[in-house]
Structure 1
Amino acid sequence: MTERLSVAVVGAGYWGPNLARNFAASPDWDLAVVCDLDAQRAQGVADRVGGVPISQSLDEVLADPSIDAVAIATPARTHHPIVMAALAAGKHVSVEKPLADTVARGIEMVDRAREQGLVLLTDHTYCYTPVVMKIRELIAEESLGDILFIDSVRINLGLIQPDVDVLWDLAPHDLSIIDFVLPGGIDAPTVTAQGADPLSAGRACVGYLTMPLAGGAIAHMHVNWLSPTKIRQMVIGGTRRTLVWDDLNPQQRLSVYDRGVDIAEQSKVTTTDARAANISYRLGDTWSPALPEHEALAGMVAEFAASIREGRGPRTDGASGLRVLSVLEAAKASLSRAGAPHPVQNTSRVSEPQS
Structure 2
Amino acid sequence: MDRGKKTDVTQQPLGVAVVGAGYWGPNLVRNFQASDRFRLRHLCDLDVERARRVLGGYSTVQATADYPAVLADPEVDAVAVATPAGTHLDIALAALRAGKHVLVEKPLAATYADGMRLVTEAEERGLTLMCDHTYCYTPAVGRIREAVRSGELGEIHFVDSVRINLGLVQKDIDVLWDLAPHDLSILDFILPDTVEPVAVAAHGADPIGAGHACVAYLTLRLNTGAIAHVHVNWLSPTKVRTTMVGGAKRTLLWDDLNPLQRVAVYDRGVDLASPHEIGVDERRDMLVSYRSGDMVAPALGEKEALRSMVEEFADAVRERRAPLTDGRAGLRVLDILEAASRSLQFQGAVVGLRAGH
Question: What is the TM-score when the length of structure 2 is the normalising length?
Answer: 0.94
Alignment of 1:333 onto 2:303: no
Decide whether the 8 Å contact of 1:186 with 1:323 is kept in 2.
no
Q: Give the SS at the match of 1:90.
A: coil
Instruction: State the match for 2:47 in structure 1.
Output: 38
**Does the 8 Å CA contact 1:257/1:286 hold for their aligned counterparts?**
yes
How far the C-alpha of 1:52 sits from its partner, in A, is 1.9
Letter paired with 1:177: I
* 1:177 and 2:150 matched: no
How far 1:149 moved relative to its partner? 0.2
Match of residue 23 from structure 1: 32
Residue 74 in 1 paired to residue 74 in 2? no
- Provide the aligned C-alpha RMSD in A: 1.8
Unaligned 5+ segments in structure 1 are 349-355
1:210-231 deviation digits (Å, cap 9, x = unpaired): 0111321100000001111000
Alignment of 1:155-304 (within 5 A): 155-184=164-193, 187-266=196-275, 276-304=285-313
- Asked if 1 retains the 8 angstrom alpha-carbon contact of 2:15 and 2:77, the reply is yes
Deviations 1:8-51 (A, max 9, x none): 00011110010000001001001111100011211111118835
Three-state SS of the structure 2 residue aligned to 1:216 is coil
One-letter amino acid matched to 2:250: R
Q: Distance in 2 between matches of 1:84 and 1:271?
A: 64
- Give distance in 2, aligned partners of 1:331 and 1:215: 20
Deviates most, 196-205 or 49-58:
49-58
Q: Answer yes or no: is the 8 Å Cα contact 1:319–1:347 preserved in 2.
A: no
Is the Cα–Cα contact under 8 Å of residues 78 and 100 in structure 2 kept in the other structure? yes
Partner secondary structure for residue 271 of structure 2: strand
Conserved 8 A contact 1:21-1:49: no
Superposed displacement of residue 188, structure 1: 1.6
Report the count of equivalent residues: 348
- The structure 2 residue matched to 1:9, chosen from 4, 18, 33, is 18
Gaps of 5+ in 2: 1-9
Distance 1:45 1:272 in 2: 74
Cα offset, 1:269, TM superposition: 8.4
Question: Share of identical aligned residues, percent?
Answer: 57
| Greater displacement, 265-274 / 25-34 | 265-274
For residues 78-97 of structure 1, the aligned pairs below 5 Å read 78-97=87-106
Q: Report matched runs for 1:313-324 at 5 Å.
A: 313-324=322-333
CA distance in 2, matches of 1:292, 1:221: 26
After TM superposition, the score normalised by the length of structure 1 is 0.95
- Does the CA-based 8 Å contact 1:191-1:212 persist in structure 2? yes
CA displacement at 1:271 relative to structure 2: 7.4
CA contact (8 A) 1:33 1:53 kept: yes
Distance 1:89 1:52, change over 3 A: same
Judge which range, 246-255 or 43-52, deviates more. Answer: 43-52
**Shift of the alpha carbon at 1:143?**
0.6
Match of 1:351 in 2: none
User: Could you tell me whether the CA contact under 8 Å between 1:125 and 1:297 is conserved in 2?
Assistant: yes
Q: Residue 352 of structure 1 aligns with which residue?
A: none
* Cα offset, 1:274, TM superposition: 8.6
Q: What are the Cα deviations for residues 120-179 of structure 1, in whole angstroms up to 9, with x where unaligned?
A: 000000111111111111112101000000000000012111211000000000000010
Which SS does the other structure have where 1:175 is aligned?
A: helix
| CA deviation vs aligned residue, 1:289-313 (integer Å, no higher than 9, x gap) | 0001011000010000001110111
Letter in 2 for 1:131: A
Report the secondary structure of 1:215's partner residue. Answer: coil
Say which is worse superposed, 52-61 or 248-257, in terms of deviation: 52-61
Asked if the contact 1:322/1:347 (under 8 Å) is kept, the reply is: no
